[in-house]
Amino acid sequence: MDCSWPVGGLLSSAIAKARQQEPAQPRPQWPTPRVVAVREAERARQAIERILARGPRALGVALDLRNPEGARLRSGDDPRPARIESVAIAVPEDDAGRAAVLLLERELLGQAGGLALIDPLLAGGEEQPYLVFADAHAALAVLSREGRPLPGRYGCLTVAATLLAEGADRRRDHRPLDRLVREELERELPEGLLGATGQRLPCEAEAQLVLLEHMTPELRRRRLARVYQFECELLPTVVDMERAGIGLDPAGFERVAGGWVRERGELDAAMSGAGEPSQEQTDRLARLDKLISTYRWWARDFVDPDHRIRCRLHPLAADSGRFACTDPNLQQVPSEHTAPGLRACFRPAPGNVLIVADYAQIELRVAAHLAPCDALRAVFRAGRDPHRATASTLAGKPEHAIDDHERKLAKAVNFGFLFGMGARRFREYARDSYGLELDERQAEDARAAFFRTFPGIAAWHRRVRGLSRQGEHEAVTVTTVMGRRRTFLPGKFSYNAALNIPVQGTAAEGFKLAMLALHRRLPEIGGRGVLVVHDEYLAEVPRERAEQGRALVEGVMVEAMASLVDSVPILVDAEVAEHWG
């Protein structure tokens, strides 16, 4: 797949020239392109053949996506149930410095097989054009649901704009294309869907072409081109995983959720008749209320007729590049400890098994690589347990003599202090996450022991602390191994985020590389990816291929992460499972 920008500066230079020639005025409207509107199938075929005959080139593709109620899809809306009502294709005209636009109208696309007319643009082989979408994730999701081939060469304004914002601009507006045209090109798109002149969608198509060409030099200058291409290439993997979903036992889910409701009623009755409730009762009631309010009706609201639950995945929702998940948020399904039996309701289809794979201590391994920290690297290279290493310093005894309580404390210490947590916040973290009660002196001693155990981490923290002083009066940028950037504007520096983002972002990039490879490899054994949860990957494979699938997932995940983090061994815990437990 090729998602790199293929052409020179024809259109953006034309816009720049037009700006110089125009008298100063506040944001002129986007100039009307030459539009060829088509409602007949044969004319559409001929027009697309002519476009393809001119050889591979960039085309701006604007889709009029409508939700089931007929309203146009806005940014952030769920594209999965949307339909394509019309398509505008902007084609550069070398002699004019502008684009002509082919408009395939709804009367044409609404006919039986009408949408198949665009298939040659999507599956053009070596001569395939480079398609520029405003939101390639939404476009590919709808094309996939409609049974259309997914393009092999495309670009995405949403990906480009998100990467170029570098975390300093996370605005969630409903019309981001309008804002990009306004801010980057100093123009205004026509209001409404088609505008007073009937040119809204054609203007969008041309603007998309100009915008990406305008942004590409900046992506290259900031060394973001590799990350841009990588994030674009990932989108078909994400779309296929969203479409696959994960199996759910609705009856089992109802039994678990019904059990919470019954327990809550019994607990409420007991608390009402026993005077002052205990802290344990109050805490349990709060946990039950949270479980009931969040998950009680999932089996009713989110499970499809094929007994699978399908979420939306957002690969660029976090500054680090980690995934977010919504509708519903499967990444927040509680563990067996918090909600016994709940994850066991997530099951493979009959005849299949799940492969559940998780990176082992990946943030500590990435931090050892990036800091760099020779002591932590040595722990991993020797196959030792980093938590026992820290516990040894804390307890003053050999690693082999560390008991479970001492290791639990050290685990809290390693994960708590890795990203700059202070002693006071650590006390809360240790209590809430590990059930450990520490006084202030114990927390301070634990912090000191952590930095004595891993002096390279301490030196890394000191360097980042120096950046915080620099960040008081100038912008500061931190990067991942692949070059993803997070810029803190003057006076907005975050010490914890500056530690966290390079580590979590690099781990996310290694994870996404594994997703890309597994998307290609799993179908070879009849498998597919069904869910990602932070550092955990879930795949579904035929039962007779269970061990082959487990070995494949484990090997690919190790290899992908090791391509970015090569100074420490990468370990993946992968198992064959009958359910997500």
Q: Which residues, 6 or more positions from 300, have their beta carbon under 8 angstroms from its beta carbon?
A: none
What pLDDT shows up at residue 276?
A: 84
Segment 235-255, tens digit of pLDDT: 999 999 999 999 999 999 999
Backbone angles phi, psi at 511, to 5 degrees: -65, -45
- Provide the b/e sequence for 19-50 (b: ≥16 CB within 10 Å): eeeeeeeeeeebebbebebbeebeebeebbee
Question: Along the 581 residues of the chain, how does pLDDT read in single tens digits?
Answer: 666 655 444 444 444 444 444 444 578 999 989 999 999 999 999 999 999 998 888 999 999 999 999 999 998 899 999 999 999 999 998 655 689 999 999 999 999 889 999 999 998 666 789 999 999 999 999 999 999 999 999 999 999 999 999 998 766 666 799 999 999 999 999 976 554 445 799 999 999 999 999 999 999 999 999 999 999 999 999 999 999 999 999 999 999 999 999 999 999 998 887 778 888 999 899 999 999 999 999 999 999 999 999 999 999 999 999 999 999 999 999 988 889 999 999 999 999 999 999 999 999 999 999 999 999 999 999 999 999 999 999 999 999 999 999 999 999 999 999 999 999 999 999 998 999 999 999 999 999 999 999 999 999 999 999 999 999 999 999 999 999 999 999 999 999 999 999 999 999 999 999 999 999 999 999 999 999 999 999 999 999 999 999 999 999 999 999 999 999 999 999 999 999 98
SS3 string of 141-179?
HHHHHCCCCCCCEEEEHHHHHHHHHCCCCCCCCCCHHHH
What pLDDT shows up at residue 61?
A: 98
What Cα–Cα distance (Å) separates residue 569 from each residue in 284, 381, 572?
A: 41, 6, 10
Report helix angle 157-165 to 200-221, nearest 10.
40
Tell whether pTM > 0.85: yes
Q: 194: helix, coil or strand? A: coil
What pLDDT shows up at residue 377?
A: 98
What pLDDT shows up at residue 197?
A: 43
Peptide bond into 328 cis (omega under 30): yes
SS3 string of 328-344?
CCHHHCCCCCCCCCCHH
Segment 28-82, tens digit of pLDDT: 999 989 999 999 999 999 999 999 998 888 999 999 999 999 999 998 899 999 9
What pLDDT shows up at residue 92?
A: 92
What Cα–Cα distance (Å) separates residue 150 from each residue in 130, 136, 143?
A: 12, 10, 7
What pLDDT shows up at residue 172?
A: 65
DSSP codes of every residue in 435-494 = -----HHHHHHHHHHHHHH-HHHHHHHHHHHHHHHHTTTS-EEEE-TT--EEEEPTT---
Q: Residue type at 77?
A: D
| Count, residues in the chain | 581
Angle at 502 between CA 496 and CA 507, to 5 degrees: 120
What pLDDT shows up at residue 127?
A: 74
